């Protein structure tokens, strides 16, 4: 579809005949993501009524959202293996132009910064102490306690830019760096908290990234679960899957949008979560 054809369609979005405007919207939606740049050009010209501009915005968002749905469906059907890709897809919900290659490049730099500090045959605890030094002192990551429930905590690109995040976003970044260093570090789904475990027989211990990389043991989880009056469950002690991690990120994002009263966004994120539960 040419730019002139798109302009002609857009001009009919506020037609008095509701059937005409409905058919126009349907035709635009059927074009898919390839029409987004042309719609953006029309929106930037600002020579339409506020009603048409608002409809253009809604159409662009709808098309971008469907791209996110398609990406997440493809990721899920492909085995939900690459955590960075899964987090990138979640971030494209609010930042549709975000490039995965850009994120991969940033993590390669993080890996290099950490690799410079590592020595051969380090004890597991020393490995984590070293990674803590890199993560918190060199890279300057910290807990976002001031805006703990902000939706931005679930947007990987924002956390990388601000160096502040919630437990799961910080754990994901820390874990991706650790695994790039070939460390056996994995996510653990605790109630109300996400932590990491260093697990390589016979050694296993846990890392609370939100609390400056605090190292703790299984007995500490026992105590934590008891305080919550919950029954012990083996899932509280063992690594969870990449799929489980992205599901939890989406749950956090749903709660964040609920707190700020974004009902439509809650529905859209819930639809994304359902894809991962299929």
pLDDT digits (tens, 9 = 90+) for 135-144: 999 999 999 9
Count how many domains the chain has.
2
Examine the domain organization and report whether 233 and 250 are in the same domain.
yes
Residues 17 and 44 in one domain: yes
Are both 36 and 148 inside the same structural domain? no
Residues 222 and 270 in one domain: yes
In the structure encoding, which two tokens stand for residue 128, read together? Answer: 């984590």
Residue with the larger pLDDT of the pair 241 and 148 = 241
Q: pLDDT value at position 24?
A: 72
- State the Cα–Cα distance between residues 267 and 258, nearest whole angstrom: 10
Q: What is the dihedral of CA 220, 226, 228, 231, to 10 degrees?
A: 110
Range of the domain at 171: 83-276
Choosing from 77, 98, 118, the residue where a domain stops is 77
Q: Residue 58 and residue 52: Cα distance in Å, rounded? A: 10
Q: Are residues 195 and 174 in the same domain?
A: yes
Looking at residue 87, its pLDDT comes to 98
Mean pLDDT of the 68-83 span: 97
Lowest-confidence segment of 2-16, 86-100, 178-192, 245-259 by average pLDDT: 2-16
Residues 193 and 130 in one domain: yes
How many other CB atoms are found less than 10 A from the CB of residue 124? 17
Provide CB contacts within 8 A for 43, sequence distance 6+.
53, 56, 57, 60
Q: Do 137 and 247 belong to one domain?
A: yes
Q: With beta carbons less than 8 A apart as the criterion, state whether 7 and 42 touch.
A: yes
pLDDT of residue 46: 60
167 pLDDT band, cuts 50/70/90, is very high
Regarding whether 89 and 56 lie in a shared domain, the answer is: no
What is the model's pTM? Answer: 0.89
24 and 43 both lie in a single domain: yes
Q: Is the peptide bond before 55 cis (omega within 30 degrees of 0)?
A: no
pLDDT at 48: 64
Encoded tokens for 49: 């009524």
CA dist 245 to 111, 166, 181, 195, Å?
A: 21, 13, 20, 11
Q: Are 232 and 106 in a shared domain?
A: yes
Of the pLDDT bands very low, low, confident and very high (cuts 50, 70, 90), residue 120 is confident
- State whether 138 and 169 are in the same domain: yes
Instruction: Indicate if 145 and 184 belong to the same structural domain.
Output: yes
- Tens-digit pLDDT profile for residues 205-220: 999 999 999 999 999 9
pLDDT of residue 5: 74
Share of the chain above pLDDT 70, in %: 95
Look at residues 44, 60, 77 and tell me which one is the last residue of a structural domain.
77
Q: Which pLDDT score is estimated for 125?
A: 95
Domain limit, last residue, from 77, 101, 126: 77
């Amino acid at each position: 579809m040419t730019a002139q054809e798109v302009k002609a369609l857009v001009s009919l979005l506020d037609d008095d005949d509701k059937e005409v405007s409905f058919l126009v919207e349907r035709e635009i939606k059927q074009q898919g993501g390839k029409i987004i740049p042309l719609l953006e050009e029309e929106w930037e010209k600002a020579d339409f009524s506020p009603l048409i501009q608002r409809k253009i915005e809604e159409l662009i968002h709808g098309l971008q959202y469907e791209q996110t749905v398609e990406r997440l469906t493809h990721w899920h059907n492909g085995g939900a293996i690459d955590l960075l890709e899964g987090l990138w897809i979640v971030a494209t919900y609010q930042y549709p132009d975000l490039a995965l290659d850009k994120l991969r490049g940033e993590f390669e730099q993080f890996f290099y910064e950490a690799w410079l500090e590592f020595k051969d045959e380090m004890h597991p605890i020393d490995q984590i102490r070293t990674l803590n030094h890199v993560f918190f002192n060199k890279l300057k990551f910290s807990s976002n306690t001031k805006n703990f429930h902000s939706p931005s905590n679930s947007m990987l690109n924002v956390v990388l830019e601000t160096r502040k995040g919630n437990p799961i976003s910080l754990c994901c970044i820390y874990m991706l760096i650790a695994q790039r260093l070939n460390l056996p570090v994995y996510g653990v789904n605790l109630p109300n908290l996400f932590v990491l475990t260093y697990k390589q027989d016979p050694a296993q211990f846990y890392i609370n990234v939100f609390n400056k990389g605090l190292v703790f043991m299984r007995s500490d989880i026992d105590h934590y679960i008891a305080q919550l009056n919950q029954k012990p469950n083996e899932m509280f002690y063992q690594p969870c899957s990449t799929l489980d991690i992205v599901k939890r990120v989406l749950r956090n994002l749903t709660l964040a949008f609920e707190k700020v009263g974004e009902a439509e966004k809650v529905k859209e994120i819930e639809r994304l979560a359902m894809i991962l539960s299929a």
